[in-house]
Amino acid sequence: MKSFAYIFFALLVIALLAWKLCFPAGVPTAAPALARQWHQQVHGLDDDEVIRLVPPPFSQQRRTDLAGPSRTLPPQIVGQMAYHVRPSGPRRWGTTYADGNLSSAISWGSSLTRPELNILQEIRYLPVTGDWILRPDAPVEPRMKALESILKQATGKTIIIQKRLVERDVIIMRGSWSYQQDAAYPRLAAREQIDKPQPGAVQLYTLPLSPILGSGGGSGDLASFIEILESSTSRRFIDEVDEPRPKSIIWRNNSSQYRAAEDEKKLDQLLQSWKSRHRSNFSKPGA
């Protein structure tokens, strides 16, 4: 009985010492600071890294970044994000509420637009879930080699990325910039129970609208906006827009806009919707 008491006392002392070592008295645990540090560490890159895939589960900060200010997303929406790592640290670069796949992985991982990519149809939509962290200033070739290795682990398939010279159709963008609010979009958005239109924003979509919460958006100059058009249509746009050119454009995405990349009628629909709200004109091959 006495030996049991000694053993129990020794165990109790060890337990108390462990408690004091793990939880020092009078020093509160700074949970928000730890969560922020963990997020920055996971969404950063080591010195020898040029690209990284961060799979779920995600940090709370990442969920906040995905949703945007003053918004809460349903838990079933995982989405995908891209962060660019610069000397000042990681910075959010791209956001979509849609699930990630091989096409988005290569597009975001390379920083190339869809017209610059030719991905086989049978592998284009292989699921690749997670956020992409990359150094945008690093040469494309090392990033592609690292991306091949990551995609092999993520998909279980050997993915080969090669650079080739190919011939492509282009769309010539002419005329002057004159924005007008889309009168039809508020009614269409209300019917699908998605986000209300943002005042002053260009709405990108085809019909019927996708109910996936609008799929984010962005802002930038005309060159940045043309990149979004190229990504949506998988076509190269030649910029011949007259002066004065817009210095800042705000746009909102809807997942339906990406149907224009694979359906010629949807492409015409997207361009016709654009022409009805601007004095810009588009010229397609053979048109």
> Which residues lie closer than 8 Å to 101 by C-beta, 6 or more apart?
124, 125, 126, 127, 128
Paired with 133 in beta bridges are: 52, 83
Highest-pLDDT range among 9-18, 23-32, 251-260: 251-260
Which DSSP string corresponds to 154-207?
Answer: HHSS------------EEEEEEE------SSHHHHHHHHT-PPPPTTPEE---S
Helical segments of 96-170, H only:
102-110, 121-124, 140-155
| Distance, CA of 257 to CA of 78 (rounded, Å) | 20
- Give which of 94, 78, 85, 99 is closest to 133, Cα–Cα: 85
Cβ pair 253, 138 in contact under 8 A = no
> Which residues lie closer than 8 Å to 95 by C-beta, 6 or more apart?
65, 66, 68, 79, 80, 81, 82, 216
Residue 255 tokens read as 């997942």
| Distance, CA of 287 to CA of 231 (rounded, Å) | 22
130-169 pLDDT tens trace: 999 999 999 988 999 999 999 999 999 999 999 888 888 8
- Model-level pTM? 0.63
SS3 content of the chain, % helix, strand, coil (to 5): 40, 20, 40
35-61 pLDDT tens trace: 667 667 777 899 899 999 999 988 888
Paired with 174 in beta bridges are: 240, 281
What local confidence, expressed as pLDDT, does residue 155 receive?
A: 94
**71: number of CA atoms within 13 Å, CB side?**
12
201-233 pLDDT tens trace: 888 999 998 876 546 788 899 998 998 899 889
What local confidence, expressed as pLDDT, does residue 281 receive?
A: 64
Paired with 86 in beta bridges are: 89
Q: What percent of the chain has pLDDT over 70?
A: 79
Orientation angle between helical segments 31-42 and 60-67, nearest 10 degrees: 70
62-112 pLDDT tens trace: 888 888 776 778 888 889 999 999 888 888 888 888 889 999 899 888 878
Q: What percent of the chain has pLDDT over 90?
A: 27
